[in-house]
Amino acid sequence: MIAASVSRAASGCTTERVDVALVGAGFAGLYLLYRLRKDGFTTVALEEADDVGGTWYWNRYPGARCDIQTIDYCYTFDPELESAWKWSEKYATQPEILRYLGFVADRYDLRRDIRFCTKVKRATWDQASERWLLTTDNDAAVSCRYYIMATGCLSSPKPPEIDGVKDFEGEVYFTGRWPHEEVKFAGKRVAVIGTGSSGIQAIPLIAEQAAQLTVLQRTPNFALPAHNGPAPADRVALLEGDRAGYREQARWSGAGVPLQLQTVFSWQLSAAERLERFENAWAAGDLFCMLRQLWADQGVDVDGNALVAELLRDKICATVKDPEIAASLIPYDHPFGAKRPCLDTNYYATFNRPNVTLVNLRQEPIKSIMASGIKTDKRTFDVDVIVFATGFDAMTGAIMAVHPIKGRGGKSLSDVWANGPQTYLGLTVTGFPNLFMITGPGSPSVLSNMVVSIEQHVDWAVNLLIAMREAGFTTFEATKTAQDGWIRHMADCSTLTLHRLANTWYTGANVPGKAQGVMPYTGGVGPYRGICDEVVSRGMLGFRLAGPNVAEQCNDGEIVRLQPDVRLVLKKLEEMKLAPIESLGAQGARDFVAELNADRPAGRPVGDVADGTLPGTDGPLPYRLYRPATPGPHPIVVYFHGGGWVLGDQHSDDPYCRDMCRRSGMIFVSIGYRHAPEYRFPTAAEDGYAATRWIAEHAAELGGRPGSVVVAGWSAGGNIAAVTCQLARDRGGPHIAGQLLVCPVTDCTFDRPSYNDNATGYFLTRSLMFWFWDLYCSPADRTDPRVSPLRGKLAGLPPAFVVTCEFDPLRDEGIAYADALAAAGVPVEQLKARGHIHTSFTMVDVVITGVSGRVQMAEALRRLAGLPPERKQVDASVRPARTASPRKIAAAAD
């Protein structure tokens, strides 16, 4: 064990030597101190305030409360602590939460190791001693082996960006730095600038007291009624019925609150059913019910989101009597939830009061603050008090306020982060050894119940320090590979949600000059916890560990290379411990696939879906036709499903066909070609060709555009599409305008690297492909271009769009085919989908990160068919809809 020694040097300024120095005495700092001390590390906590509480110490404005139910927003590390404290309300007030944190500090005797009224100013890593030196605004300096910033995500208030604040002769308050003594508003003219969470909580209470309240709003926000009161009986019963289980469920949930995710999609519900769900969530007074429990697509899809947003707008209109004021209060510039929504008590109704005026700063920006009040470009408001509810320099503000933080080689963190924060796991930064940030940028933090995230970070960090101590390591540092990989993974995750579509403090947009980008981890609390655990189980992947008497350890690499949702799908499949498909026999495998398909999200509505048959070479072949809702005639795509020539039918890629039909605005005809082993090579290829020929000849009867067709296919269907193009060229038609080949089989050899790299673990396995080939085609036939189109003549084929996925055994033969087509003079575009697997694009509404690939495929189909690029759809959630005023707001926001 590292010796727990504390020494003090008496030389003008005192330098305290400890194992660990942590900064901050909020939820994070207190739990850290508890854990570190319990685990035998000498520790000091440094805190700018004169007491514990962090957020709840500083934010004392009227109406300040938590907006996650208090039974969830509290520590869970000690069951005895849980039973020792009873919350009085569903959403506790700031004084109650502050009392709770004081209670925790006393219960574990934490205050004795906290240096209050001590602000950390600078931090410098000394390579020779392998220690951090922290300097403070009083004489106390600290030398520590490990430096942990528990400085808070919302602890650095944003200074006002308005000229003249100093000239104002009245009282000025900041919600994030509220005085300890009561502020009296009675009889006063008050202005509140800002309508984020703090403003929305404070405004109704200030309005009750003030003679006149002027609310200056730049960006309207969605707010839901908190319906505060006692904690809901059903939630309490769940907690008390199985406290440990309830807490564990929260730890592995999406946002740190144990709620089931909704699995039904908006298009599977009638308008009345949607309204009923919405009204229930409205009555529940719970952000997460509204954010996650209406329908499965509300948080990931602009159309699903627009339905919620519109119902919320109805509520605002129904509450606010003056339609012009209501119009100004309605948000149109962001999807619901992309900006943090607020919980309120009487917020919208406050604007019906005669003493309240709303000033829409989109229509009349503030010019300046003068001695007597506030001047916009239209009016002047004389006021006695100005309350700034203008928010925080979130997530990075408090970290960067310690300046400089100098790491290895004297590099400053502010330089390293000049273009935005870069971290590994949101916990550590390459080049800054032995530094942890609790709930730092790159971790779920503000998109979660923060106490759950804090406990996870603290436990992970302290457990690492213990493990290092046991192994004799004294330094840790994230590698560049690991950090770069994490940044890529963050970017992938950000496509899972709609946060990227809003300018918010989540993205740094509220602070002028701040680098923009989604800062919190959007992949969810549970998946994040799983990743952190995996870093440990893979030998501290991405960390370099060193110590004086031990060999350096570094398992370098990226912790997540798959797309985040693909990773979750594979994990689920792994947990199901399924027998290999090829062990089930052909019929067993077909039954299994049918069972899997029955459980998947239903595809989206299209204009029309019709089943029919067409004449094949030896009898009728079934087909399913998907027609867009737009007026025709539309170009036709002849589509061949996947399934290794053995599995599937004309319905089996239903969600994919629907999605592509909607996105491309083209008719999809999915062909029920015959399968092996009943019908072996070349039946599938010949059926594909025959079907294409018939459809091209009967395009007009099918409501399609005559002249030519496009062919498309996935997997073995991609093989049939490619072969059909070769046969059509050689047999005098039909005219095929283009081919979309998604993860196609193009060749019979198994020796390309992707077959070995991705042999198992990514759903389509090498041995399953062996089985498919064996059932379809005898070895003697395999080099025939009707099954190995890569071996055929390629010149003169229609233009192609070839999609391959990184973690697919078929990847390299798809790329080889695209390259060979290009070499033969065929116009080819390639989409090489990073982090995806063979089934990524057909798992519609499951693999959300597949959307952008399908968008590209649809655009390609339109190009191949000679259609103009589709007009960019106006995002329904930002489409102005009601009155003239929102239109102006949306225009201003643009």
Ligand X SMILES: Cc1cc2nc3c(=O)[nH]c(=O)nc-3n(C[C@H](O)[C@H](O)[C@H](O)COP(=O)(O)OP(=O)(O)OC[C@H]3O[C@@H](n4cnc5c(N)ncnc54)[C@H](O)[C@@H]3O)c2cc1C
Our CB check for ligand X shows the closer of 119 and 766 to be 119
Contact 347, 157 (CB under 8 A): no
Candidate residues 18, 21, 28, 478; the one interacting with ligand X per rule CB under 6 A: 28
Q: Which range, of 59-67, 522-530, 552-560, 763-771, touches ligand X by CB under 6 A?
A: 59-67
The answer to whether 191 and 334 are in contact (CB under 8 A) is: no
Q: Kindly indicate which of the ranges 52-60, 203-211, 461-469, 757-765 contains the residues binding ligand X, using the contact rule CB under 6 A.
A: 52-60
- Cα-to-chain-centroid distance, residue 459: 24
Q: Is 33 exposed, middle or buried (0-12, 13-18, 19+ CB in 10 A)?
A: buried
Residue 80 has a CB neighbour count (10 Å cut-off) of: 8
- Binders of ligand X: how many residues, by CB under 6 A? 37
State the nearest-atom distance from the C-beta of 505 to ligand X, in Å.
11
Q: Which of 15, 42, 59, 726 binds ligand X (CB under 6 A)?
A: 59
Q: How far is the CB of 228 from ligand X (least distance, A)?
A: 12
Task: Work out how close the CB of 148 gets to ligand X at its nearest, in angstroms, rounded to a whole number.
Answer: 11
Binding test (CB under 6 A) with ligand X, winner from 17, 99, 111, 119: 119
Judged by CB under 6 A, which of 18, 20, 44, 46 binds ligand X? 46
CB distance 734 to 689 below 8 Å: no
Q: In this structure, which amino acid lies at residue 686?
A: E
What's the min distance (Å) between Cβ of 507 and ligand X? 17
Q: From residue 39, give the alpha-carbon distance in Å to each of 132, 148, 470, 589, 858.
A: 21, 16, 12, 53, 57
Instruction: Give whichever of 451 and 720 is closer to ligand X, judged by the CB atom.
Output: 451
Total Cβ atoms within 10 A of residue 532: 21
User: Least CB distance from residue 776 to ligand X, whole Å?
Assistant: 55
Closest separation in Å from C-beta 309 to ligand X = 22
User: What Rg value do the Cα atoms of the chain yield, rounded?
Assistant: 31
Least Å distance between CB 225 and ligand X? 16
Distances in whole angstroms, Cα of residue 808 to Cα of each of 317, 597, 753: 51, 20, 10
Contacts of 153 (CB under 8 A, 6+ apart): 392, 394, 395, 398, 439, 445, 446, 450
From the list 44-52, 522-530, 562-570, 581-589, the region that binds ligand X by CB under 6 A is 44-52
Which residues from 447-486 bind ligand X, rule CB under 6 A? 449-450, 454
Q: Decide whether 198 or 495 has the Cβ nearer to ligand X.
A: 198
Shortest gap between Cβ of 251 and ligand X (angstroms)? 14
In whole angstroms, the minimum distance from the beta carbon of 330 to ligand X comes to 24
* Binding-residue pattern over the window 60 to 99 for ligand X, x denoting contact by CB under 6 A: ----x-xxx----x--------------------------
Identify residue 57 by its one-letter amino acid code.
Answer: Y
Q: Are 2 and 469 in contact (CB under 8 A)?
A: yes
Q: Which of 15, 42, 43, 55 binds ligand X (CB under 6 A)?
A: 55
In whole angstroms, what is the distance from residue 307 CA to residue 312 CA?
9
Of 29 and 421, nearer to ligand X (C-beta) is: 29
Q: Give the whole-angstrom CA distance, residue 32 versus residue 635.
A: 63
Least distance (Å) between residue 175 CB and ligand X: 7
Q: Is 487 exposed, middle or buried (0-12, 13-18, 19+ CB in 10 A)?
A: middle
Of these, 23, 44, 369, 614, which contacts ligand X (CB under 6 A)?
23
- Asked if the bond preceding 404 is cis, omega within 30° of 0, the reply is yes
Contact at 8 Å (CB) between 87 and 231? yes
Q: Would you count residue 26 as binding ligand X (CB under 6 A)?
A: yes
Separation CA 814–CA 714 (nearest Å) = 11
C-alpha distances in angstroms, 449 versus 68, 116, 151, 582, 825?
7, 27, 17, 44, 56
114 belongs to the binding site for ligand X (CB under 6 A): no
Near ligand X by CB under 6 A, which window of 57-65, 325-333, 353-361, 773-781? Answer: 57-65
Which lies closer to ligand X via its Cβ, residue 402 or residue 843?
402
Shortest spacing between CB 57 and ligand X, in angstroms? 6
- Number of alpha helices (DSSP H) and beta strands (DSSP E) in the chain: 27, 30
Nearer to ligand X, 257 or 691 (CB): 257
- Per CB under 6 A, which region of 6-14, 23-31, 706-714, 846-854 contacts ligand X? 23-31
> Using CA atoms, how far apart are residues 805 and 278, in angstroms rounded to an integer?
39
What is the smallest separation between the CB atom of 97 and ligand X, expressed in angstroms?
8
The reply on whether position 47 binds ligand X by CB under 6 A is yes
User: Which of residues 72 and 565 has its CB atom nearest to ligand X in the complex?
Assistant: 72
Site string for ligand X, 384-423 (x = CB under 6 A): --------------x--xx---------------------
Q: Which amino acid is at 705?
A: R
Task: Copy the structure tokens of residue 772.
Answer: 């498919």
18, 21, 22, 49: residue in contact with ligand X (rule CB under 6 A):
49
Q: What are phi and psi of 557, to 5 degrees?
A: 155, 175
The piece of 51-59, 381-389, 518-526, 564-572 that touches ligand X (CB under 6 A) is: 51-59
In terms of CB distance, is 455 or 845 closer to ligand X?
455
DSSP element (H, E) containing 835: strand 828-837
Nearer to ligand X, 64 or 847 (CB): 64
Restricted to residues 191-220, the positions that interact with ligand X (CB under 6 A) are 198
For residue 682, say if its preceding peptide bond is cis, omega within 30 degrees of 0.
yes
Q: Which range of residues in 18-26, 242-250, 273-281, 608-616 is near ligand X by CB under 6 A?
A: 18-26
The distance of Cα 781 from the centroid of its chain, to the nearest Å, equals: 48
Q: Which is nearer to ligand X, 396 or 449 (CB)?
A: 449
Residue number, 56 or 762, with CB nearest to ligand X: 56
> Alpha carbon of 843 to those of 130, 659, 801, 809, 831: distances in Å?
50, 11, 20, 18, 17
How many angstroms separate the CA atoms of 887 and 338, rounded?
20
Q: Is 221 in the site for ligand X (CB under 6 A)?
A: no
Least Å from the CB of residue 687 to ligand X: 58
- Pull the structure tokens for residue 861: 């189909």
* Contact letters for ligand X, residues 124-163 (x by CB under 6 A): --------------------------xxxxxx--------
CA-based end-to-end distance of the chain: 59
Pure H helices in 731-843: 753-757, 766-776, 811-823
User: In terms of CB distance, is 197 or 474 closer to ligand X?
Assistant: 197
**Preceding peptide of 868 cis, ω within 30°:** no
Choice between 210 and 437, CB closer to ligand X: 437
Q: In angstroms, what is the minimal distance from the CB of 25 to ligand X? A: 6
34 touches ligand X by CB under 6 A: no
At closest approach, how far in Å is the CB of 514 from ligand X?
Answer: 18
Tell me the two tokens of residue 534.
Answer: 């995996």
Minimum distance, C-beta of residue 535 to ligand X, in the bound complex (Å): 21
Return d(Cα 852, Cα 59) in angstroms, integer: 41
Report the residue from 18, 22, 25, 429 that binds ligand X according to the rule CB under 6 A.
Answer: 25
Query: Which residues make up the interface to ligand X (CB under 6 A)?
Result: 23-29, 46-49, 54-55, 57, 59, 64, 66-68, 73, 119-120, 150-155, 198, 398, 401-402, 438-439, 449-450, 454
